[in-house]
Structure 1
Amino acid sequence: MRSAAFAPALPGKHARQHNAALAYAGIASGAVLLAVLFGLVAVTANPIFIGLAVGLLAGVLLLGNVSWTIWSIFGLGLFVVGVLPLWVEGYASKAVWGVSLLGLLLLAGTLLRALANPAVTRGAPPFVWLALSFLIYASADGLAHWGGPTQFFSGFKSYFQVFGLIFALAWLRVDEGNVRQWRKLFVILALVQLPWAIYELIWLVPIREGLRHAYPLLVPIDVVAGTFGASLHAGGANGEMAAFLIIALVFLLARWREKALTARRVMLFAPIILAPLFMGETKAVVVMLPLAFATLYRRELLARPHYALAGLLVGALLTVAAGYAYLSQQKKTLEQYVAGTLSYNVYEGGYGGRELNRTTVLTFWAKQHGLHDPVGTVFGHGLGSTSENAGGQMARRYAGKGIGLTAASRLLWEQGLGGMLLFLSILLAAWRAAGRLWRQTGDAAIRADAAAIQAALPVFAFFLVYRAALVEGRVFQIVFAAMLGYLAWLCRQQADAGPGPLSARHEG
């Protein structure tokens, strides 16, 4: 009897039946293997393994439809990941790592499609290529400074768990209807922060007040973080929520300025968006608000100074009101409040129980680097080297100091000056792309969004020295990557449509 490997090709109907039988056999075999695999995972009763397995299965099923994958990342990442630790801490809260797995599968799938068909990448703005360069640089740097698989893969996940959103929206032909729905989803995200903030303020802050004797460093009001992430026994992403709401407000005002949104809707949405800013104690609001408003209205300072002054006055009043609201929650004078803030942000006081603060963490890096360590200064010490959870080599060497306190310090320690400059170049190139889009488009809504993106970029740049969320905060990273991906998508749309009628008027 002939071996099946050398059997002659079966003609016509028999060939189709034979191929169908092989396909069914392959599907059945795969189903059996998956059943065994998921059975073994279920037996462990480990929420992390179960979450990763579900994320892997969902990711494989969704790879064929990019829009569904993005919907899943947005839905789970923005509305579930941050609030789950409020009720389920420890191992169970890590089950949301399945969202990270979805993001990494989207990244891998998008890169493979780009390699298979390079034509899909044509017309992408320069900042997308800089983002890809940063990914390659960080990966190569991590391999060159190998500190073990746990350190490397933990660092890679931390940095790039949702980077796939940038490339997918930039390179793949995403339907305009989906983009329109995603914009509405982010509006909903901005609006739901208020009910969540009220719940956290009324129910969770008193609970945390009762826990202060067991957790001396616990700040009860920090739990007011909306859906951006908090837990009963640790800190909260209140700064990230505040930054997102300020960015949402900027988008709202930019559309109203371009007459792409009615004043009635602005008056309806603005109070809901602003309210959570006054419920917590995010002192950085007094920096981010004027920064965003000044950037948004900078063009009007010369063209329409009275209009610009009105907008800046609103921003100033909101800043003063926020500062007064935060001060009223403290049992301190203004001088004591300012002195305490400067102590653990600028002077020698440590932040969050660590030896270093947001300023000294940078000066400490400078003291440890220089001509005596040129490789570490330029290239850093590798992905994940500052991670305390992953046992990074630098984190172990400088235990207790908190060298990974901010995104800037983490980038400097892990990627060196080269990686830091490359990351900054992404923001700068995105700024230029948004400015070019603003000049070229004839669509009022797109002009508004381009201006709002430019106003949001300084807020993200401020976060480099404020917190580490840009390189580890999953929810905030989704906001950042989605905005850059949306900008890339708009640039591709504009390139396909050609310059609008307003391009000549606003050129330069």
Structure 2
Amino acid sequence: MKPLAFVFPQINRIELNISTVLVLVAALFLAITSGIFAAYGNLYLLIALLGVYGALFVLIVPTSWIVWMIFFSAFLITGPSAYFIRFTQIQWLTVLISASLYLPVIFNILQSKINVLYRRFSINLFLPVAFIFLAVLSSIINHSQFTDILHASRHYFFMWSLMLVFAFGLVPPETFVKIWRALLIIAVLQLPMALYQYFFVARQDARMSPWDAVIGTFQGNIEGGGDSAAMAMMLIIAILTSIALWREQNLKLGWMIWVVIAGIATMILAEVKAMVMLLPVPIALYYRKELVKKPIETAVVMIGVLLLVGGILTAYKDIHYDTSATRVNSAYDSIVNAITPNPGEDSAHVGRVTLLVNWWNNNVVHGEVHNTIFGYGIGAVHSSKAQRGKIASLYEYKIAKTTSVILLWETGILGHLVFLMILLFGAKASADAAKTEYIPSIHRVLLRAGAISLILLVITLPYSNFHLFSIPTQFLMMLMLGQSLYWSNSIKSKNFSKLL
């Protein structure tokens, strides 16, 4: 009786008794139905029934519980399961749990008043809707295969519910802080995992780039590598957040030092040169306002960061290149190879610039206006053991290496532009909210860190595909977009109430 009274505080005792009876009858009906379906052994009926149970679970338990389930699954369960026991299908469970959050979002919208909905509607909500619409439209007009849409759906559709949950306040603001603090712990945990992967996996491997096996707790394969770039992005965000929290006296100095050391050590073991070169960017953005106020301190910090970056890139030669069979002699050689376009290349090591050049030559140069603007439909460049998309099947090598390449092929220039605007407008909303004094200080720190992190996601669009293919990165992206929307809505509501 007590849990129901908590869920339905407005109803009287008679209505509560009726609700209790209805719940018991529904539970009894589901139990009987489950027994019948189990007796027949129909797999599809059982899957449908599991979906019903899942929906009821999501509606009954607090939304914050579901968010934490997704967090721990994304950062600690999905990756190691795929890495050690090759159970890659568990990533579907994570994104489906995220998709189930659309149910409480829909109920929240239906219960909201019109003026609340009006205040919540903004360009930051319109852009994600427009992006999903363009993805669907591109698939329809290109008559995409159902299997392509199915495989790509988890990359395009399911994780946006998290952003809405955060934006609409379905979890309390205190949860934002707890998630950010938990992220710092996740960052520290990457080091022991990376140490094991480097000494007991990579050092025993004779392939061309054994360091690809160092991916922490992120998604990947023990033999073929994985989301090391996504792990490095998370580490940079965690380092930035720890420094920001420490400077505002919201984190102890020891914790900040531990996060920074663990993050840098992990990136050294993982060989993520492009992400290492990105390190000065968040620090420069964070200290930009203090350039005039504290020029000496800012200069010392930036020089220290640049020396650190140079030291890490130099260390890669001794730690990775000299101990492997790769033809790369230094980080400089690797960077030059990556940015040198070679459209005629058809090996497994086609560079990111080459992939963009190939898209340009096959669409813009050939006058494919329709496909240049709208793409070929989601899943077109998707490649898996089961099937290959219609564009992926035309190439001997993997082309879905970067988010920019994926979006240009699958949603066209229009879809890529909208996705870019989502990140940019989210960063602006987060930065603007961070300037509001009545917002608690710790939230303003996290909003500022979120704004800078979203800019980093913009910069890395042509570098990696973790914006779409990495569940942990998508979780962080939705957290940062959601918290910016939540506080923006809070500011609008406060200003709106002043006008009444």
C-alpha separation in 2, matches of 1:302 and 1:58: 55
1:101 is the counterpart of 2:65 = no
SS at match of 2:202: helix
C-alpha separation in 1, matches of 2:345 and 2:235: 25
1:309 is the counterpart of 2:299 = yes
Deviations for 1:316-362, whole angstroms, at most 9, x for unmatched residues? Answer: 12212221221222229997542343224433289995363200111
Residue 475 (structure 1) shift: 2.1
Moved more, 441-450 or 472-481: 441-450
> CA distance change for structure 1 residues 23 and 202 in 2, over 3 Å: closer, same or farther?
same
Residue 29 (structure 1) shift: 2.5
> CA distance change for structure 1 residues 308 and 35 in 2, over 3 Å: closer, same or farther?
farther
Whether the aligned pair in 2 keeps the contact of 1:243 and 1:288 (CA below 8 Å) is no
Whether the aligned pair in 2 keeps the contact of 1:361 and 1:402 (CA below 8 Å) is no
Whether the aligned pair in 2 keeps the contact of 1:161 and 1:474 (CA below 8 Å) is no
Partner of residue 272, structure 1: 262
> CA distance change for structure 1 residues 151 and 40 in 2, over 3 Å: closer, same or farther?
farther
Moved more, 16-25 or 254-263: 16-25
Residue 125 (structure 1) shift: 5.6
C-alpha separation in 1, matches of 2:348 and 2:59: 42
> CA distance change for structure 1 residues 401 and 194 in 2, over 3 Å: closer, same or farther?
closer
What is the one-letter code of the residue matched to 1:33? Answer: T
> CA distance change for structure 1 residues 28 and 231 in 2, over 3 Å: closer, same or farther?
same
C-alpha separation in 2, matches of 1:70 and 1:418: 31
Residue 146 (structure 1) shift: 2.6
What is the one-letter code of the residue matched to 1:164? Answer: S
Q: What's the TM-score once normalised by structure 1's chain length?
A: 0.83
C-alpha separation in 2, matches of 1:350 and 1:467: 22
Whether the aligned pair in 2 keeps the contact of 1:84 and 1:93 (CA below 8 Å) is yes
SS at match of 1:440: coil
C-alpha separation in 1, matches of 2:390 and 2:247: 50
Of residues 465, 480, 483 in structure 2, which corresponds to 1:468?
Answer: 465
Of residues 449, 452, 468 in structure 1, which corresponds to 2:449?
Answer: 452
Q: Within 5 Å, give how 1:235-274 maps onto structure 2.
A: 235-274=225-264
Of residues 373, 380, 389 in structure 2, which corresponds to 1:385?
Answer: 380
> CA distance change for structure 1 residues 23 and 485 in 2, over 3 Å: closer, same or farther?
closer
Deviations for 1:37-81, whole angstroms, at most 9, x for unmatched residues? Answer: 56777x98x9xx999986774454123432121111112121100
Partner of residue 7, structure 1: none
Whether the aligned pair in 1 keeps the contact of 2:78 and 2:90 (CA below 8 Å) is no
Deviations for 1:154-186, whole angstroms, at most 9, x for unmatched residues? Answer: 222122332211111102442233333223221
Whether the aligned pair in 2 keeps the contact of 1:258 and 1:447 (CA below 8 Å) is no
Whether the aligned pair in 2 keeps the contact of 1:441 and 1:494 (CA below 8 Å) is no
Residue 311 (structure 1) shift: 2.4
Residue 99 (structure 1) shift: 1.0
Amino-acid identity (%): 22
Residue 476 (structure 1) shift: 1.9
Partner of residue 216, structure 2: 226
Partner of residue 286, structure 2: 296
Residue 286 (structure 1) shift: 3.0
Whether the aligned pair in 1 keeps the contact of 2:313 and 2:331 (CA below 8 Å) is no
Q: Within 5 Å, give how 1:94-173 maps onto structure 2.
A: 94-107=89-102, 109-111=104-106, 113-114=108-109, 117=112, 119=114, 121=117, 122-123=119-120, 126-173=123-170
Gaps of 5+ in 1: 1-12, 500-508
Of residues 173, 192, 195 in structure 1, which corresponds to 2:192?
Answer: 195
Whether the aligned pair in 1 keeps the contact of 2:191 and 2:216 (CA below 8 Å) is yes
Partner of residue 8, structure 1: none
Of residues 72, 75, 80 in structure 1, which corresponds to 2:72?
Answer: 75
1:413 is the counterpart of 2:409 = yes
Moved more, 465-474 or 56-65: 56-65
Deviations for 1:347-380, whole angstroms, at most 9, x for unmatched residues? Answer: 3289995363200111111111137221111111
C-alpha separation in 1, matches of 2:371 and 2:487: 38
Whether the aligned pair in 1 keeps the contact of 2:392 and 2:399 (CA below 8 Å) is yes
SS at match of 1:233: coil
Moved more, 146-155 or 488-497: 488-497
C-alpha separation in 2, matches of 1:391 and 1:185: 37
C-alpha separation in 1, matches of 2:22 and 2:443: 51
Whether the aligned pair in 1 keeps the contact of 2:232 and 2:272 (CA below 8 Å) is yes
Whether the aligned pair in 2 keeps the contact of 1:77 and 1:474 (CA below 8 Å) is yes
What is the one-letter code of the residue matched to 1:426? Answer: I
Whether the aligned pair in 1 keeps the contact of 2:401 and 2:465 (CA below 8 Å) is yes
C-alpha separation in 2, matches of 1:67 and 1:354: 43
Residue 416 (structure 1) shift: 0.5
Partner of residue 281, structure 1: 271
What is the one-letter code of the residue matched to 1:303? Answer: K
> CA distance change for structure 1 residues 254 and 496 in 2, over 3 Å: closer, same or farther?
farther
Residue 147 (structure 1) shift: 1.5
Partner of residue 364, structure 1: 358
Residue 25 (structure 1) shift: 4.4
> CA distance change for structure 1 residues 471 and 23 in 2, over 3 Å: closer, same or farther?
closer
> CA distance change for structure 1 residues 334 and 145 in 2, over 3 Å: closer, same or farther?
closer
Whether the aligned pair in 2 keeps the contact of 1:51 and 1:95 (CA below 8 Å) is no
Partner of residue 484, structure 1: 481
SS at match of 1:347: coil
C-alpha separation in 2, matches of 1:23 and 1:432: 46
Q: Within 5 Å, give how 1:320-359 maps onto structure 2.
A: 320-329=310-319, 330-331=321-322, 337-348=331-342, 353-354=347-348, 356-359=350-353
> CA distance change for structure 1 residues 144 and 320 in 2, over 3 Å: closer, same or farther?
same
What is the one-letter code of the residue matched to 1:407? Answer: T
Gaps of 5+ in 2: 1-12
Residue 419 (structure 1) shift: 0.5
> CA distance change for structure 1 residues 498 and 419 in 2, over 3 Å: closer, same or farther?
same
Measured on the aligned residues, the alpha-carbon RMSD in Å equals 3.4
Whether the aligned pair in 2 keeps the contact of 1:290 and 1:315 (CA below 8 Å) is yes
What is the one-letter code of the residue matched to 1:365? Answer: W
SS at match of 1:486: helix
What is the one-letter code of the residue matched to 1:220? Answer: P
Whether the aligned pair in 1 keeps the contact of 2:447 and 2:483 (CA below 8 Å) is no
Deviations for 1:81-138, whole angstroms, at most 9, x for unmatched residues? Answer: 011112211xx33134111111111135424643564655434663233122212222
C-alpha separation in 1, matches of 2:368 and 2:103: 35
Whether the aligned pair in 1 keeps the contact of 2:184 and 2:238 (CA below 8 Å) is yes
C-alpha separation in 2, matches of 1:418 and 1:33: 47
What is the one-letter code of the residue matched to 1:382? Answer: G
Q: Within 5 Å, give how 1:492-507 maps onto structure 2.
A: 492-496=489-493
Moved more, 95-104 or 343-352: 343-352
Report how many aligned residue pairs link the two structures. 473
What is the one-letter code of the residue matched to 1:75? Answer: F
SS at match of 2:245: helix
Partner of residue 433, structure 1: 429
Moved more, 300-309 or 30-39: 30-39
Partner of residue 502, structure 1: none
Whether the aligned pair in 2 keeps the contact of 1:194 and 1:273 (CA below 8 Å) is yes
